Structure formats: structure tokens, C-alpha cells
Chains A and B, each alone.
Chain A
Amino acid sequence: MATVAEEWLNICGGCEVAILDLGEKLLDVLPSLEFVHMPVLMDHKYFGQTGEKSELEIPEADVGMISGGIRNEKEKHVAEEMRKKCKTLIALGSCACFGGIPALANMYTLDDIYEKVYRDSKTTESADTPSKDIPPLTDRVYAVDEVVNVDVHIPGCPMNPVIILEALTCLLEGKPFELPERSVCDDCPTKREEKSDVGLKRPLQDAEFTPGEYNTMRCFNEQGILCLGPVTRSGCGKQYNGNGEVVPRCVKGYMPCRGCFGPIREGANPLIDMMTALSSIGLDAKLVEDRRALLNRYIGGQNRLRPLPAKAGR
């Protein structure tokens, strides 16, 4: 029996739904798991059930799972406590692994964000930045592994339940777990001709495809629709026991990859690699709208997105 503590930080809650998405497979692993702390499911308070304690407390567990990045001091504190109490710590989902969508805020300084949200926005009555009874925000959005050591990363927005199951099984059996260093393109069935003869299309334009036939569909990038497949780790299309044809999840819905699985390997630079990939098929990276945010959509933590330097005339 392994004890599990789960914690959600700066997150939408989709990762917890992805755990439930294990479906009947969850019933197979449940007997060997005991959840000792999980705010989304259980009424377990940090400072004792009646608030009688003065220190934040999380019960000890073999496996700790954290979903969501770190946006405020409370979340930082919880992450540190989780690290102290858990033998193995898993970062669940893109927010925990790379900062995720909320990390797009790293393009601006905290002061800019406060100004925009509480004062500059036309539809808001201007007010002071609230500071009473709420934890202060950290200077930027952090991925969990920037604050504490993380043993296993499971990226995805949301994660693929197959990978959660695989990782949990590996941990229960004491085996190491690692996602292969493959790109989404390596698993993508679409047809590539290494050349694009159309320009970049607008982001919401549809790709051309025949429903059900992935093999005859032209590569998204070659159709002029920005797809982050070349610089994104593969795994989203994985099936139980390797059954069935592997088609990346977004491609399965005839949509280009959005890059939620993050860089292919640690230390890779998706921004540069993507520009190289675009220019190698003859597209102009300069014409990509909102390029910086688009290419860093899920990976803005870990210092990838940062405010632009102040400069006269910009």
C-alpha cells in the first residue's frame, strides 16, 4: 500500500479530472493506493481540522503529486511542505512542469499586471491592489521544479491518463519513469513534403483534411497553420499497452499541436528550433502573430518568458 498526497496550486483543476479520466483502470490501481491528502477531494485542512495549529502541515506520503505552478507565497510554502513530506514528488501537468498558460504573465512585470487589472482596464473600477488577508504574489510564475526538487515530470494540458498510470505503476514497482525524447512529428501520421507552397494562414483557419484519413492529410505547417509539433515532446497520443495507432491528440481532432508537452529534452530551446523548422520549409517566422507568446504558450516558466527590457521608442 502506497500513500499518496495530492496538492493543487496555480491551476484550473483539469489535471485532477485527467486522473479521474483513467476510468476503470483507476479501479485496478486504487487498492494499492491510499490518498492521505487531496484538497480537491478531501476536507483536510492545513492548520489542523479546527485551525488549532500554527504551522502548515501535510501528512507524510510515499508519493506526492503537485499540479499547477507557483504564483503566490502560499503555494510556494505548500510546495516546500510537500517536498519535505513526500518521498517521491511528481509534477503533474504543464503548469507544474513548465509554468503553463498562467506563466504567460511572465511577459509582464508584477507592477504592470497590477496596473492593468486594478486600474488601467476600462471595464474595471479602479482600486488599490488588495493586500489584506491574501498571500502576496511571487514576482513571476514558477514551475514547481524551480522551487523544490521534482523527481518525475508528467507534462500535458491535461495529461494523458495512460502516462499517469504508467508512471504510478513504475513508482509502485520501484522502476524509474521517463518519457522518450521524441517529437510529436515523430508520431504524426500526416504527409510531409518538406516544402510549403502557401503562406502562413490565420490561426483560426481550418486545415484541409478528409475525415478519418490522417495519412493523406498534409502536414499542418506545410499548410500554413502553425503547429508546434517539431519542438514538442511526444506522448499525448499514447494508448494503453501500446494498442492501436498512435496519433497525437490534437492531430486526431484535425488541429495543430499547441505544444503542451513542452520541450523535447531538457535544455532544448523550442523558440529557436521552431524558427529553424519554419524557415526550413519556407515560411517566414517574422509573420507569426504574437510569436513570443505563441511559441511559449505552455512553457513560460523556468525563465523562458520575461519582461522585455525597457527601451525608448518601443
Chain B
Amino acid sequence: MSEEFEPKIIAFCCNWCSYAGADLAGVSRLQYPPNIRIIRVMCSGMVHPNLVIEALTKGIDGVIMCGCHPGDCHYIEGNLKAESRAEAIELMLEDFGLEEERFRLEWISASEGPQFAQVMKEMVDTIKELGPSPY
């Protein structure tokens, strides 16, 4: 067995765009690393900073939050909420002594399967470079 570090990454995907995007990546048979655990949420705006910090301090190495493109939100402005929450999350990462690269906010629409796979690949590469979470 190889000893290479395999990060655990949680992706919060919104039900209306990003989760469908992930689905599209799946049915199109696009390859992306298996380090991603997807959690479907109704809207990226409902992902409380608590959830992200808790994940990162309890064994997860990276968190990615995916929502609809601005203006496309099913709930009109949920993703804008997510954006302001992302700012707060970045502040908290700093307070908790975590690298800001461990968290990422991405807009992925339902038709962007290839982009979903691409973003996940990039995220896994970044985290592999950073190494495991200090917690």
C-alpha cells in the first residue's frame, strides 16, 4: 500500500445547481478523485460557518461550498448569503489557525459537469500540497 496522504474533503452542494452539476459529472463518466464527500443542502446559503469549522476541526482536511451562479439562485439571493458567510468563514479559519486554502467557495451550475470535476481535482491537489489538517 502506498503511504500517500489521501485527504478527506467535504463538498456542500446546493440542491438546484451544484448537486445537479455533480450528477452530470457522474452520468457523463467524468473522472474526479474519490476524496470528495458530497453533502446535499437545499441552498449554499444555509451552510452555517459552524458546520464548516466543525468539519475542519474534527478530521476533515478541506471544505468546498458550491452554489448557483449569482443571479441563478433558486431562492433568489441564497448564494449571496453564502458569499457573505464565506467571508466570515475565512475570518474564522484565521482564528482557528487553519490555512485559508482549506475552504473554497465555487459557483457551479447544473450544466457544468466538467467544471465540477475540474474544481474537485484542483481542490484535492491543493489540499494534498497543504497536508493534513492540524486538528
Q: Is the CB of B95 within 8 A of A271?
A: yes
Across-interface contacts of A286 in B (CB, < 8 A): 91
Contact among B50, B95, B99 for A295, CB-based, below 8 A: B95
Give B54's nearest chain A residue, CB to CB.
A269
Q: Does A292 contact B (CB under 8 A)?
A: yes
Q: Is the CB of A285 within 8 A of B97?
A: no
Give the CA-CA distance A40 to B102 in the complex, in Å. Answer: 48
- Interface majority SS (helix, strand, loop, mixed), chain A: helix
Q: Is the CB of A308 within 8 A of B97?
A: yes
Q: Is the CB of B98 within 8 A of A309?
A: yes
Q: Among residues 53 to 103 in chain B, which have CB atoms less than 8 Å away from a CB atom of chain A?
A: 53-54, 88, 91-92, 94-99
Q: Does B114 contact A (CB under 8 A)?
A: no
Give the CA-CA distance A285 to B88 in the complex, in Å. Answer: 8
Give the CA-CA distance A271 to B49 in the complex, in Å. Answer: 11
Q: Does A272 contact B (CB under 8 A)?
A: yes
Q: Is the CB of B92 within 8 A of A272?
A: yes
Give the CA-CA distance A279 to B96 in the complex, in Å. Answer: 19
Q: How far is the CB of A106 from chain B (nearest CB, A)?
A: 10
Give A310's nearest chain B residue, CB to CB.
B99
Q: Is the CB of B134 within 8 A of A306?
A: yes
Mark interface residues in A255-296 (1 if CB within 8 Å of B CB, else 0): 000000000000001011001100100000110000110010
Interface size on A, residues (CB 8 A): 17
Give the CA-CA distance A306 to B96 in the complex, in Å. Answer: 8
Q: Does A39 contact B (CB under 8 A)?
A: no
Give the CA-CA distance A286 to B91 in the complex, in Å. Answer: 7
Q: Is the CB of B134 within 8 A of A292?
A: no
Given A275-B92, A279-B88, A286-B91, A269 and B50 contact (CB-CB distance below 8 Å) = yes
Q: Is the CB of A291 within 8 A of B95?
A: yes
Across-interface contacts of B97 in A (CB, < 8 A): 306-309
Give A286's nearest chain B residue, CB to CB.
B91
Across-interface contacts of A308 in B (CB, < 8 A): 94, 97
Interface size on B, residues (CB 8 A): 15
Q: Is the CB of A309 within 8 A of B92?
A: no
Q: Does A175 contact B (CB under 8 A)?
A: no
Across-interface contacts of B54 in A (CB, < 8 A): 269
Q: How far is the CB of A312 from chain B (nearest CB, A)?
A: 11
Q: Is the CB of A272 within 8 A of B50?
A: yes
Across-interface contacts of B92 in A (CB, < 8 A): 271-272, 275
Across-interface contacts of B98 in A (CB, < 8 A): 309
Q: How far is the CB of B64 from chain A (nearest CB, A)?
A: 19
Give the CA-CA distance A206 to B129 in the complex, in Å. Answer: 48
Q: How far is the CB of B65 from chain A (nearest CB, A)?
A: 16
Give B134's nearest chain A residue, CB to CB.
A309
Give the CA-CA distance A303 to B94 in the complex, in Å. Answer: 15
Give A272's nearest chain B residue, CB to CB.
B50
Give the CA-CA distance A129 to B5 in the complex, in Å. Answer: 37
Q: Among residues 222 to 279 in chain A, which have CB atoms less than 8 Å away from a CB atom of chain B?
A: 269, 271-272, 275-276, 279
Q: Among residues 197 to 240 in chain A, which have CB atoms less than 8 Å away from a CB atom of chain B?
A: none
Give A278's nearest chain B residue, CB to CB.
B88
Q: Is the CB of B134 within 8 A of A275?
A: no
Q: Is the CB of B96 within 8 A of A271?
A: yes
Q: Is the CB of B91 within 8 A of A311?
A: no
Interface residues of B (CB under 8 A from A): 49-50, 53-54, 88, 91-92, 94-99, 134-135
Known: A269-B54, A292-B95, A295-B95. 14 other contacts (CB 8 A): A272-B49, A272-B53, A272-B92, A275-B49, A276-B49, A279-B88, A285-B88, A306-B97, A307-B97, A308-B94, A309-B97, A309-B99, A309-B134, A311-B99
In the complex, 6 of the A-B residue pairs with CB atoms within 8 angstroms, ordered by the A residue number, are: A272-B92, A275-B88, A285-B88, A292-B95, A303-B135, A307-B97
